[in-house]
Structure 1
Amino acid sequence: MKDINDINIRLVDSTILLVFLATMRHRKTTAVASEMRLTQPAVSHALKRLRNLFDDPLFLRRSHGLEPTALANTLEPKVLEIIRLVSETLKGSEEFNPITESTDLRIGAFDYELTNIIPKLVAKLAKVSPNINVHAFPIQNYEAINALSYGKIDLSIGYFNFPIRGNNSYIAEKLYEEHYVLAARSGHKIFKGKLSLEKIANENHLLISPYGPIKNLVDQALDLQGLTINIKTIVPSLFTALSILEKSDLVVTLPKRIAKENMKKFGIKYSDLPIEGGSFQIHAVRHIRDLANPLHTWLTKILLDLVRVY
């Protein structure tokens, strides 16, 4: 087993390093060949050269694909840095220009961000960078990290209920802090007088969940008081919930920005919950390989500007 510092540089070319990084992302040689427009034998040959160079298998065959060895995981950030430096050197003094930039931007976002942030981003890009196309995908936090790692998306926006900051493979930028409110149609009796847990427990509830019944913040608070709520309807998306809310006497717990921005459109009203806490952070997350990518740095700044206008 050899470290990258022990390798004879004359035996290395950029292609085998790019094959290595693509294999780390996809874990399948067919996907690597497709992405790099190489034949599978060419990919296999490149991997063989890498194994000989490092005196290590690098990738072990498993039923689900190729599994990186410990050395491969150690090498990835170093190879990423090599490719970044080479790329920057070749670009020379060329500067990023949003007006002339032409690319497809792949963004994975949760339902909340697809509803709240993506429309604002598309409108902003149409003005400042008209040649950038946005491809937005619905994604959950546990899927987002794999999608970033495998290069399937460029950026993920959402609430991550596990540590992202401190993970050397990802860059997480906090966009803003959000909290939940209780919403219902305007004129609903729940808004008469002070909102309490008892009043909330007496109403029929609408739950937003793509996974079926789950306990949310309100459930947990009610449990502590020995109270329960009646989940009358479960839907997978925010806009479906808002449409139902407008035409029913159901109540729902949802993020404040969504409630505030849709009050007039759906004829709803909202109130802060009578419980402590309930806040959560929204992050924009990208892979470390894009640390020096001027497009991604610029995009993160655009997102920060958009959410701070709120």
Structure 2
Amino acid sequence: MELKDVDLNLLLVFHQLLMERRVSVVAEKLGLSQPAVSNALKRLRLLLGDELFQRTSKGMEPTPYANQLAEPIAYALSTIHSSLNDKQSFDPLTSNRKFTLGVTDIGEIYFLPRLMVLLATVAPNVTISSVRNTAVNLRDEMETGHVDLAIGLLPQLKAGFFQRRLFHQQYVCMFRAGHALDKAEMTVDEFCAADHVVVVAAGTGHADMDATIERKGIKRKVKLTVPHYVAVGHIIGSTDMITSVPERFARACVQPFKLRYVPHPVVRTPIDINVFWHAKYHRDPGNQWLRSLIFEHFSDQADAAA
């Protein structure tokens, strides 16, 4: 016998008859008519080749074969019921789940220090792993659940993904404290005359910033090109070069490297930094918790509340 040949409703009637022993009571419990229950029992007898129940003065008495089936069918129905009604939960205080975030190097510098301090209090056993957005096939890794959330300017994540904006930010020009340009604002001519460090962030939205400068016909004196932002604070802090970076990254660099920044004289359009998650994990309690935590502590609304 194949499972495709068995109507689950017949097993429900069988299980209820074992407990109640009366067709009228079973009909009431299951919301059926008595003829419907009798018809279900008839179909089950034909399917299993056994009478299953005999009418007696005490009600419907199970046959030996029905008693043999009683426990495994009860267990199977209980398992199905529990599975269908089991709502996943996530308790950050006791969970030891590992989350993986897809972020740029800027994201690691800006988000991870504060996030880890926060987790030490609210989720002490939760661990975080990060991967670079550009180092993996982010779409596939998020679909398979290998990456839980991605944060950044990621226009490639559209169909199949949810997103929520964390904040707007502007680009700024950053330099060491005491630099000749350390004043309230910078002119376009001063920008062009300065020596620049340029970060080539291929595959990220930050490449649009360089394209904007080129479209406006601005020629920079590029003295150094690097593939990531990790060393930028060290380099700018010990030279007279300047660089164009997102404002929140600049904020994170000011104190450790004794830097300053001013509004960008060329790139004025703000960018949106979003948190992304795959639709498959939209209702996953752990995913919901982490993205809510990030929004509560890193969004524009969080800054306004603070």
**TM-score, normalised to structure 1's length?**
0.64
Structure 2: distance between partners of 1:138 and 1:181: 23
Is 1:91 equivalent to 2:83 in the alignment?
Answer: no
Give the fraction of aligned pairs with identical amino acids, expressed as a percent: 20
Structure 2: distance between partners of 1:234 and 1:265: 22
Is 1:259 equivalent to 2:250 in the alignment?
Answer: yes
Q: Which of 138, 147, 150 is 1:144 aligned to?
A: 138
Change (3 A) 1:215 1:144: closer
Q: Which of 91, 101, 108 is 1:114 aligned to?
A: 108
1:139-169 per-residue CA deviation (whole Å, 9 max, x = no partner) reads 22983222212332111111113462xx2x1
User: Is the 2:109–2:252 contact (alpha carbons within 8 Å) kept by the matching residues of 1?
Assistant: no
Is 1:220 equivalent to 2:212 in the alignment?
Answer: yes
Larger radius of gyration: 2
1:273-293 per-residue CA deviation (whole Å, 9 max, x = no partner) reads 124633111111111111111
- Which residue matches 2:291? 300
Change (3 A) 1:216 1:184: farther
User: Is the 1:141–1:159 contact (alpha carbons within 8 Å) kept by the matching residues of 2?
Assistant: no
> Structure 2 stretches of 5 or more lacking a match?
6-79
Q: Which of 76, 98, 102 is 1:104 aligned to?
A: 98
Structure 1: distance between partners of 2:181 and 2:286: 47
**TM-score, normalised to structure 2's length?**
0.65
Report the Cα offset of residue 199 of structure 1: 0.7
Change (3 A) 1:143 1:241: same
**SS of structure 1 residue aligned to 2:142:** helix
> Structure 1 stretches of 5 or more lacking a match?
1-7, 12-84
User: Is the 1:141–1:160 contact (alpha carbons within 8 Å) kept by the matching residues of 2?
Assistant: no
1:82-131 per-residue CA deviation (whole Å, 9 max, x = no partner) reads xxx99973524x64321112211111111111110122111111110111
Report the Cα offset of residue 172 of structure 1: 1.1
Letter in 2 for 1:236: P
Aligned length: 224
**SS of structure 2 residue aligned to 1:207:** strand
- Which residue matches 1:173? 164
Change (3 A) 1:196 1:141: farther
Change (3 A) 1:112 1:9: farther
- Which residue matches 1:129? 123
